[in-house]
Structure 1
């Protein structure tokens, strides 16, 4: 029996975005009701799909065209886990947006749901070309969200962001064309079978195609030396949009994990070995660059942006080994970084609004209204981002360090993760003391200052509480990520679900 719910995370935001286009611009309340109701429904569907994914990978053939000839959408534990993370962050972001941010642009909710369409589609697609299509959908929507609210600064940052991603998209097309020319297919399951059977004379071209894909995904997840666009773009975006952007970099990490555990598994043509040779040092340098950026930040937005860069370095350093323990730890850390990254960007927006013209700059020139609440939330965000107990950042880093123990890169990884932890700690302490302690004695504040709305603070608090829950249920969550990693590494399950007629050389 065909499970039509698999396609729902793609169809629902698409229909919602189109519906929002037909609602009158002045009807703010109706837009908010439709948007929030859709995200709530998406969250419920994501929970249900996670339950369905426990039965093994399931494929949905759009138009009833069989793979590899038609469009296929695939649900497995990894895609279901990513949908859960995306829907949780989307719910927090849209609840924060309806407090006032969505009034700054006529089409915020429309763009928001188009971006959800792209994100969910990227997680579910079983075809590399459609992965490109969904990448473009989410990127086009994100261009609009970066510009949401207007201003020369946002226009400049949006142009840089668009230019970088357009170059990456062009490279993506070259990679897709090259892979199709070599194998004659773009369906991931069929591609996995054909790549394993390729003659040796085609391996060089295959490696070029795989390297081009890696460059594209490295740009998407802000891996050094392609990380420089992220602080600029994320600092300019609307706060609720930037909270959702916490998932965008994870799309790149997801694509790396998916391709190298399915299509290029078993070190086909030496590709996975080359990936590890490139990814380990690049991830280590990314983590160091992010930590130094946090230490040298001149604003809280820069601090939050470079924290995202550092978290991507940590995640990819864990995933680079492509072993079950490493992937499991990376997936746990991915969930943590989505929650805490979104919380930090929303919190910075509240602090900036309360300090008037000083905004989020790390200057002790204006006190923060509701400093006790916001300072407490910043303290918890800092603890989680640095990786201090008892929050989920600590559990994630311990799992990563344990998973890397005994590997060839263990010494490098341990040294970088522990060393950068000190830099991150100093950076967060410096920022917190400047904004919440030294500024406490300041008496002047701009008339434009706006104390944080209680509902906005509750959204941030809910995300921080999510990291606490993730830590308290660390054993159960790690068991789930262990099962996800085990399923990923047994690629025959995926291949049989998508293309039952295909036979892998390993089977």
Structure 2
């Protein structure tokens, strides 16, 4: 077994435990340890991408139990991509936090690292029950991170977030119980083998469990009508937390891709493509609702929170069509939109700091200091989010449009996506023109100096949209190979027959 597979989980776990006992240590020491831990997770993720790029599956079986028994981690191209996506985001959000956002809570870095650990477990696990455990780990950390910074403005959105996710966790547990009662397993590879064999009365029970899982993953991804908790919760969170939360909805998207391609894909017999005929229209409606919310937003953070919902609808529409090209395009867009939205949350915080009492509200105010730098960062992020050339959001949306075959679904997707992109551009143009150009005479309270770590981390995260364009060819090749590997489910199920010792596992 390759022990690199546990590094993205073990490193933040150990770092978080150390932070727990360092609550009263000097904040500079805690910050140094936190950033070092995040960078080490990034290094481990890059190593795993290199390992996964050969197209083989690598398995880490805890306790040396042969799959499907015991706890198992599985590394493939998709898991490696999600690990790098998360770790890059976490590094820059973490660097931003040491500019002052981590003050007021001695365990901020503990929670941040445990959140990273939960995310990485979700991407590496090869078992549905351990996916449930991963959701609980990252959600427990996210509950506290959402409340970080204090104030009653976070109480109600936080309560809605907690209540809905607790309901989702209960449904998840019931769903996996129903599936286990029929199949006798929750190992994903084993389920991919046994689900096609389900017949008779058991078919309805498994179908009900699978549809409940889709509801849970839809809640995590924030699909309409399960998305109304998100704008207020994300808009009220502190900037580095909101930036990290940009990956949270993508966990739901990842779970849908993983489970409904591998387990309920084309080889699942009567349960093949379960729920996908519902998912496609819901994704388009979610996209449209996100655009409406963005147009009506009265502050910048809320606008960006609605952008998260827009991106979820854009991602799930091609995924629901069930083609390799659609999944590949969605993965390219996922990389772009996650980093872009996270960067925009950080830009919104810079705007709020520089505008005094006006904050990030989309209203006229006196000219802000550092307007040129912040406006350029906002413009780059907005252009990418709206899907305009020449930035990465444009390439992602073009790939999605090209992935759809001629027919009614093509007409719906093209119409909603193109009109939605145009209206999104209007929303960002309105916000940008008011915030940066429609200034009024007067003075604002002198803002605090913009710290280097804050501006550099924001600029770096926004700049990744340009980096994606520069490496668009290799990235697209990787996502195409990832989609091909996902749809070759027989290769995944072979991990059941591969010894846990020796070889590439």
**TM-score bracket for the superposition, by shorter chain length:** over 0.9
Cα displacement (A) at 1:49: 0.3
Partner of 1:462: 460
Offset of 1:408 from its aligned partner? 4.8
Q: Match for residue 21 of structure 1?
A: 20
Equivalent-residue separation in structure 1 for 2:406 and 2:203 (angstroms): 31
Does the C-alpha gap of structure 1 residues 8 and 498 become closer, same or farther in structure 2, counting only changes over 3 Å? farther
User: Are residue 133 (structure 1) and residue 133 (structure 2) matched?
Assistant: yes
Q: Distance in 1 between matches of 2:445 and 2:270?
A: 60
- Tell me the secondary structure at the aligned position of residue 409 of structure 1: helix
C-alpha distance in structure 1 between counterparts of 2:243 and 2:497, whole Å:
37
| RMSD after superposition | 1.3
- 1:356 and 1:450 in contact (8 A); partners too: no
Deviation readout 1:1-29 (Å, 9 max, x if unpaired): x1011011111111111111111424101
Three-state SS of the structure 2 residue aligned to 1:438 is coil
2:402 and 2:331 map into 1 onto residues whose CA distance is 14
Structure 2 counterpart SS, 1:101? coil
Q: Which residue of 2 aligns with 1:201?
A: 201
- Listed as ranges, the matches of 1:334-353 within 5 Å are 334-353=334-353
- Is the 2:336–2:396 contact (alpha carbons within 8 Å) kept by the matching residues of 1? yes
Q: How far off is 1:494 after superposition?
A: 1.3
Measured in 1, the distance between the counterparts of 2:324 and 2:93 equals 32
**What is the deviation of 1:499?**
4.3
Structure 1 residues 136-151: aligned runs within 5 Å: 136-151=136-151
Pair 1:253-2:253 in alignment: yes
Q: CA deviation at 1:108?
A: 0.6
Q: Alpha carbons of 1:227 and 1:495: their partners in 2 closer, same or farther (altered >3 Å)?
A: same
The 2-side partners of 1:26 and 1:13 are apart by 19
More deviation in 249-258 or 27-36?
Answer: 27-36
Per-residue deviation at 1:459?
A: 1.2
Contact 1:370 1:451 in 2 (8 A): no
Question: Number of aligned pairs?
Answer: 498
For 1:408 and 1:267, locate their aligned partners in 2 and report how far apart those are by CA, in whole Å.
25
Aligned-partner Cα distance in 2 for 1:81–1:104: 34
Residue of structure 2 in register with 1:60 after alignment:
60
Q: Deviation of residue 401 (structure 1)?
A: 0.2
CA distance in 1, matches of 2:254, 2:272: 15
- Provide runs of 4+ in structure 1 moved above 3 Å: 269-274, 498-501
The CA distance in 1 between the partners of 2:404 and 2:312, in whole Å, is 16
- What is the CA distance between 1:106 and its match in structure 2? 1.2
1:393-433 C-alpha deviation (Å, 9 max, x unpaired):
00000000000132551110000000101110110000001
Map of 1:417 onto structure 2:
417
Counterpart position of 1:483: 481
Change (3 A) 1:407 1:450: farther
Q: Is the 8 A contact 1:364 1:442 kept in 2?
A: no
Q: What CA distance in whole angstroms lies between the structure 1 residues aligned with 2:486 and 2:496? A: 14
Q: State which drifts further: 99-108 or 389-398.
A: 99-108
Aligned to 1:11: 10
Q: Is the 8 A contact 2:192 2:268 kept in 1?
A: no
**Match of 1:59, SS?**
strand
Structure 2 match to 1:115: 115
What are the within-5 Å matches in structure 2 for residues 104-503 of structure 1? 104-266=104-266, 268-406=268-406, 408-439=408-439, 441-447=440-446, 449-500=447-498
Structure 2: which 5+ residue stretches go unaligned? 500-505
TM-score scaled by length of structure 2: 0.96
Whole-angstrom distance in 2 between the partners of 1:320 and 1:407: 15
How much has 1:475 moved relative to structure 2? Answer: 1.7
Secondary structure at 2:93 match in 1:
helix
- C-alpha distance in 1, partners of 2:335/2:86? 9
Deviations 1:173-207 (A, max 9, x none): 11011010111100111111110111243221111
Counterpart residue number, 1:504: none
- Equivalent-residue separation in structure 1 for 2:276 and 2:203 (angstroms): 18
CA distance in 2 between counterparts of 1:323 and 1:347 reads: 36
Moved more, 23-32 or 210-219: 23-32
Change (3 A) 1:50 1:485: same
Question: Secondary structure of 2:453's partner?
Answer: helix
| Structure 1 residues not aligned, in runs of 5+ | 502-507
CA offsets 1:83-140 (integer angstroms, 9 cap, x no match): 0000000001111011111113111100000100100000000010010001000001
3-state SS in 1 of match to 2:59: strand
Q: Is the 8 Å Cα contact of residues 351 and 452 (structure 1) preserved in structure 2?
A: no
Return the alpha-carbon distance in structure 1 between the equivalents of residues 475 and 12 of structure 2.
27
SS at match of 2:362: coil
Distance (Å, rounded) in 2 between the aligned partners of 1:75 and 1:289: 35
How many Å separate the matches in 2 of 1:205 and 1:119?
29
Question: Which stretch of structure 1 is more off in the superposition, 461-470 or 295-304?
Answer: 461-470
Q: Return the alpha-carbon distance in structure 2 between the equivalents of residues 85 and 299 of structure 1.
A: 27
Q: Which deviates more from structure 2 when the two are superposed, residues 261-270 or residues 336-345?
A: 261-270
Contact 2:340 2:384 in 1 (8 A): yes
Does structure 2 retain, via aligned residues, the 8 Å contact 1:267–1:273?
no
Report deviation, 1:357: 1.6
- 1:222 deviates by 0.5
Distance 2:474 2:498 in 1: 32
Mapped partners of 2:164, 2:366: distance in 1: 36
